[in-house]
Amino acid sequence: MGSDMPELDVMANHNIVIDPADLGFGLWPPDPWEALLHDAFAPPLDDGPADVPWDLNALLGPHGTQSRTQESAERGNAPGPPHAQVGTALLSRVLAAYPELQISVAELNESLSTYWSHVAPSFPFIHRGTFDIDAAPPELVIMMAVTGAAQRRRGGSGAPRDDRRLVRRIRARLVEDRCGLEMDVATLQAYTLCHVYDVWHGDAETLFVAQCMWPVVVAHSRKQGIGVTGRVAPEGHTAAVWAAWAKDEERRRAAYCIVTIDTQISTFWNQHPSRQLSIFAHNLSMPAPRAQWEALTAAEWLRVREPSSTTQHDHNAGRRGGRGGYLPGLHPEFQVSFVTEGYSSIVLAALAAEGPPPLRVDIDNSFAVGVILTGLVAIAWDCRTRGGMGIRFRDGTKHWRSIVLNAVVALRAAYELGVGHLPACVETRDMRDTLAVSIISILSDIPMLQVAAGATSICGASIGPKQYADGKRRLRLWATSPDAWTCLWQSARYLRETLFADWGLYTPWAVFLTTLVVWAYGSAASREDQRHFPGPTDNPQAAATALLDGIFASPTRVDHLDHGVADLVVTVAAKLDATGSLIDRTNAQLLWRLTAAKRR
């Protein structure tokens, strides 16, 4: 996964020294923000050598670099829980509630198995060891099966299915019957899986509906303060203690998944998310180690459980200790007596890039690393939109792109070093793709790229001639900035590693966006006497690879791109067409139109 090319060392080139005391969050007014995206760009970025200021041995835990294999890679030979197979009784109960679900017992078992192996690693909020499928609400069982079946189709092994109407009906029933003050975690889990299906396995309309309906879950999370009180060290050695711990951890992970998906709306599509004030108001403890989370029995959990003294680590206790009272971002009625330092502290430490995170995070626990990345890109979005998160920089916000990008690149370097010796799996692919999209979101403008490429609608909003002209104007301004070259180089780095490798859930969208970056840079930076790219060659894959290699190996900024751009576009369009997803095929059509325009 790694690269021989040195990483960016943003801070060194601009003499920006970040002290953890310069970063903070709270109720103070934010500093003045930049007026428009293209009015003030970050200083030039350089590809010099970077020293990752993290103690990787501390990150990897007591086992050093001998980290365990990823969750999904281990599951291939791991025995399933006793309730892995379901029978006709469960299917009858599910069909009685939703008769339009057309599925056999064998298909249901296959889909649930795929859910645990390919969906749960991306959204690990259902505790497999204590999950009782016979007692679970039918909506949750159906959504587990539906998302699993959709993943099977994406992998080419499942029969054609269209569950969009069923998912819409399930969400409607959840909103109508279950969205009261006493909504349980199972309802949040089912609702979240509705969102996952509509976003990643639906079409443009379901994506729009999902983003419109998502604030329902976020509002409930804020009202109830899910997971805010922090992890309580369990006492005892019984199965009941393990079950109670698992349910508490489920609530915490549900909150993290809600924050992650809400942040995805801003990071992946540059749409305004539903969170209010700071996501760091939910100052959660970090997720439990995966060895504890994946334990299938109480005995195994007791064996791998860490001492309670290492479960909580308040690195700021000597400076300001915990906090109590009302927390911004929660409903005013929600009060807490004491909250230990957790998520917000570790994200701010990663932002400062001052040594290892204050809480030990196993680098192969991609969920924990992913929620740190979620915090970093949430800061970037808040800086762009002049939001009220309250992040305070010593030098104002002039260099926020450099600061956040440096933190993201450092996180990526540490992660790749920690998992580079492991086989590719769901978790590593998700992190690879999320990092790529995050960098584009920091350095560019995703709607601008789509509009300039000729998209007719974005997340439900129609694009007309005025928006198209504005997108092209902003694209020309962006292409002259140092951010554009850095974004191009990072996109080429990603495409070299990913284009012909195994794809994950987010890969089609990440590949589409990085391809748009290459096309947009070449289109905006082309010479005046060269109006069009040369058409694709007879061997587009080879030409696309040569283009990416040339960008990646260039010691200086590339002033223009010509040969190979059309080859890359048609190569990606063909691969998107082959996925079978409606959204992917729509994006492929946009790319095909770009190549058709250049052939005229």
pLDDT in tens, 138-164: 999 999 999 999 998 887 776 778 899
pLDDT value, residue 79: 39
Q: What is the pLDDT of residues 249-288, one digit of tens each?
A: 888 888 888 889 999 999 999 988 776 545 555 557 778 8
Q: In this structure, how many other beta carbons lie within 10 angstroms of the beta carbon of residue 78?
A: 13
How does the average pLDDT of the chain come out, rounded? 76
Mean pLDDT of 108-127: 94
Find which of 12-26, 90-104, 354-368 is predicted with most confidence, using mean pLDDT: 90-104
Residue 218 amino acid letter: V
Prediction pTM value: 0.81
pLDDT score of 387: 58
- Can you tell me the distance from the alpha carbon of 54 to that of 438, in angstroms, rounded to the nearest whole number? 21
The mean pLDDT of 168-184, rounded to a whole number, is 86
Q: Contact at 8 Å (CB) between 439 and 405?
A: yes
The pLDDT of residue 331? 45
Quick check: 503 pLDDT over 60?
yes
Neighbours of 472 (CB within 10 A): 16
Burial class from Cβ neighbours inside 10 Å (0-12, 13-18, 19+) for residue 484 reads: buried
Name the amino acid, one letter, at 298. Answer: A
Per-residue pLDDT at 31: 34
Q: List, as one string, the DSSP characters of 443-502.
A: HS-HHHHHHHTT-SEETTEE--HHHHHHHHHHHHHHHTSHHHHHHHHHHHHHHHHHTTS-
